[in-house]
Structure 1
Amino acid sequence: MSRTAPLLLLLLLIDPPVFGAVDVSGPAEFKGEHGEEVKDDLWLSGAQEMQGLAQLSWEYMQDLQCWLWPEKCEDKKNHMEWSWRSFGWDSLNLLTDWYAKVLESGDFTRNSINNNLTGLQWDLERRVHGQHLAVRQILTSLERFLHENNQQKTLVLSFHGWTGTGKNLAARIITENLYQDGQRSPCTRVFIPQLHFPHPSHVEAYKVQLRKQIEVVSSACAQPLFVFDEADKLPAALLQSLFPLLHPEETQDARSIFIFLSGVGASMINEVALNFWRAGRHRQEITLDDIDRPLRAEISQSKDQSLTHQLWIKDLISEFVPFLPLERCHVKLCAKDAIEARGLAYSERALESVIQELVFVPKEEKIFSAQGCKQVAQRINFMKL
């Protein structure tokens, strides 16, 4: 029996008569002070949608009962994607199918999109430390995509940089400011290779599920956003189902945003930053041109079949967003943020203690944190402040 079986069995504990008695008629009508008919839309705001949801859920409950115990079911409703012979993938298909119908039955993504570009700029500049290039590129790309009246319906951002430099943080800040519920919004999905696509032998099943999830979100939301963490570790075979989804015609009426986080080109980005430091130049002097051209050259000459290389060949990447390696001052700011997030007061001594626990490279100069700010929060958990 699959892992989702206990969840499905719990659904059966709901008392069927409660849903069977649902009245799915329209809003109630009554007489006003002067005898006119008035629809009680204010009092029943959302009631009809909830009634429809309850009725839909009860219908699927009946289907599920027939699915589990076909010998007790006289009228088998066989959904197109369900199989009565197996219980593994079909339980996931059932839940996915029900979820899709729920989204179609009402506007559950209404008021979910904020597109707060002012808040986005404030959060990026305040929380993503040492990344003037990434912050500028993200703001420019999203503002152009969201505001300009053009035919571009798919924005593909490719984040590149060393681990711990802020790629995940920037992606999370984007979702927090574009959507009311951030990464919990029904308009957003985050995919992690090790979590969502762990077994190479299941790639064919992953391809079907990935395409279906993206299509469901895109059909229900006018502005879906998909984040692929560690995109360079995605199974190569999975790319075949991913590429068509990046074309505007595949997103129907939606304006989709795809963000890929990758370590491809990180060594080249670090080399540029190191050369500036050795030349006595400030990192703020580094421009996008200083990194964009070498980064594209490295990706185009890559001999592997990474996602970034394939996206570049097919000209599907809208913007490359580089993340520079972090210096000691940036790691201190990360430590300060982590301490304040716990509601604690920080001191210079505490910040220095965090720095002393980290590894800095190159071996001679020891300028950049080898893992950026990735281990800062964990270090603070074991410190006495």
Structure 2
Amino acid sequence: MMNHVFGQHLVIDIVVKALRGHFYRGHPSKALAMSFHGWPGGGKNYVSQFITNSLYAKGSRSRFVHFFAGKLHFPLQEQADIYRKLKGRFSSVFACPDQTEPICRLFQLHLQDWIRGNVSQCYWSTFIFDEVDKMPRGVLDAVKPFIDHHDHIDGVEYRHAIFIFLSNTGGNTITKRHLELWQSGKRREDFELRDFEDLIRKGAFNEAGGFHKSEAIESNLIDHYVPFLPLEEKHVRLCVIEEFKKRGVMNPQEELVDEIMKDVTFGPNKQRIFSNSGCKRLSHKVLTLIERLKYRDMTEEDMHFYTRR
């Protein structure tokens, strides 16, 4: 991970130690719950893939890895008309906002059934929740029993499972704190988790989204709040080089990297230190540039053959 994730020393340190502790303890007291926070493009999904690729032979394609996307799997507005008819069908087990109560409960019950069924088959299952900030409030309260300190629930052990939550919530707070530390003379490499963790926890609890007023946060069941720092130009350049390497260009010329960097914008407005989109969108831009260069370097005969294909 260290050679592929750039500018995120806190992430590497926290995640690696958390996973080692969880797996080498033998009998963990609870499931491992980590919450990743930061601007888009900082590497939250990328690190999640590294985790699953390290733990399972088939990586993220393993049947023991379960991925949920906020808007896709919990489409609150789209389902409102359908589930409004179900009001009163479910008992008040969870604290859902009144206006979305029947929808929220149905999502919760579905989520609990899915987790229960899959952990029954494999104790070492991993559940990844993306776009937590776009999930309806209250839905993730359904996860609380599974990340709490229980030996088992109805004969099923959940202590070995992993729950990872990805959210843009806290991104602005992390950036603001980064600027404060930088202006005080502290080097980025010297930032510590304590500089960010409490700010992230409070932000996740109070901002709109799946963790708003969450019982999991209130009960201190999230083991690690992991800050993904905004990426600087030097980090984005490393991402660009990595994308070229993935496509067989092992030593890309500086001019090629500069060409990709022209499309990267930086902020905040005054400082213009951090990439607004992190390392997102770079993959397709690199691929497009490589194809463009191939096409440019073709002879007329090559080009005729290429276009015929």
CA distance in 1: counterparts of 2:218 and 2:23, whole angstroms? 26
2:157 matched to which residue of 1? 253
The CA deviation string for residues 45-89 of structure 1, in whole angstroms up to 9 with x for no partner, is xxxxxxxxxxxxxxxxxxxxxxxxxxxxxxxxxxxxxxxxxxxxx
2:211 matched to which residue of 1? 307
Trace 1:206-355 onto structure 2 (pairs within 5 A). Answer: 206-247=107-148, 248=150, 249-250=152-153, 252-254=156-158, 255-299=160-204, 302=206, 304=208, 306-307=210-211, 309-310=213-214, 311-345=216-250, 346-355=252-261
Q: What is the Cα deviation at residue 377 of structure 1?
A: 1.2
Larger mean CA deviation between 222-231 and 373-382 belongs to 373-382
1:146 matched to which residue of 2? 23
Amino acid at match of 1:236: R
Q: Structure 2-normalised TM-score?
A: 0.78
Q: Pairwise CA RMSD of aligned residues?
A: 2.1
- Greater gyration radius: 1
Asked if the contact 1:200–1:235 (Cα under 8 Å) also holds between the matched residues in 2, the reply is no
Amino acid at match of 2:120: S
CA distance in 2: counterparts of 1:240 and 1:275, whole angstroms? 34
Asked if the contact 1:264–1:308 (Cα under 8 Å) also holds between the matched residues in 2, the reply is no
Trace 1:51-90 onto structure 2 (pairs within 5 A). Answer: none
Say whether residues 1:179 and 2:56 are aligned partners: yes
Runs of 4 or more above 6 Å deviation:
none
CA distance in 2: counterparts of 1:167 and 1:321, whole angstroms? 9
Q: What is the Cα deviation at residue 150 of structure 1?
A: 4.6
Asked if the contact 2:139–2:210 (Cα under 8 Å) also holds between the matched residues in 1, the reply is no
Q: What is the Cα deviation at residue 280 of structure 1?
A: 4.1
- Which of 374, 382, 385 pairs up with 2:280? 374
SS in 2 for 1:373: coil
Amino acid at match of 2:186: R
Say whether residues 1:360 and 2:258 are aligned partners: no
- Which of 197, 200, 203 pairs up with 2:74? 197
Q: Is the alpha carbon distance of 1:192 and 1:303 closer, same or farther for their aligned partners in structure 2, counting shifts above 3 Å?
A: closer
Q: Structure 1-normalised TM-score?
A: 0.63
The CA deviation string for residues 168-195 of structure 1, in whole angstroms up to 9 with x for no partner, is 0001100000111111112110111222
Say whether residues 1:127 and 2:4 are aligned partners: yes
Identify which of structures 1 and 2 has the higher relative contact order when contacts are C-alpha pairs closer than 8 Å and 6+ apart: 2
Q: Is the alpha carbon distance of 1:239 and 1:327 closer, same or farther for their aligned partners in structure 2, counting shifts above 3 Å?
A: same
Q: Is the alpha carbon distance of 1:242 and 1:149 closer, same or farther for their aligned partners in structure 2, counting shifts above 3 Å?
A: closer
Q: What is the Cα deviation at residue 331 of structure 1?
A: 0.6
CA distance in 2: counterparts of 1:308 and 1:339, whole angstroms? 40
Larger mean CA deviation between 131-140 and 335-344 belongs to 335-344
Q: What is the Cα deviation at residue 237 of structure 1?
A: 4.4
Asked if the contact 2:41–2:277 (Cα under 8 Å) also holds between the matched residues in 1, the reply is yes
CA distance in 2: counterparts of 1:195 and 1:296, whole angstroms? 25
**Number of residues of Structure 1 aligned to a counterpart in Structure 2:** 261
CA distance in 2: counterparts of 1:192 and 1:246, whole angstroms? 19
Q: Is the alpha carbon distance of 1:151 and 1:334 closer, same or farther for their aligned partners in structure 2, counting shifts above 3 Å?
A: closer
Q: Is the alpha carbon distance of 1:215 and 1:163 closer, same or farther for their aligned partners in structure 2, counting shifts above 3 Å?
A: same
Structure 2 residues not aligned, in runs of 5+ = 84-102, 294-309
Asked if the contact 1:145–1:152 (Cα under 8 Å) also holds between the matched residues in 2, the reply is no
Identity %: 31
CA distance in 1: counterparts of 2:222 and 2:264, whole angstroms? 34
Asked if the contact 1:161–1:264 (Cα under 8 Å) also holds between the matched residues in 2, the reply is yes
SS in 2 for 1:325: coil
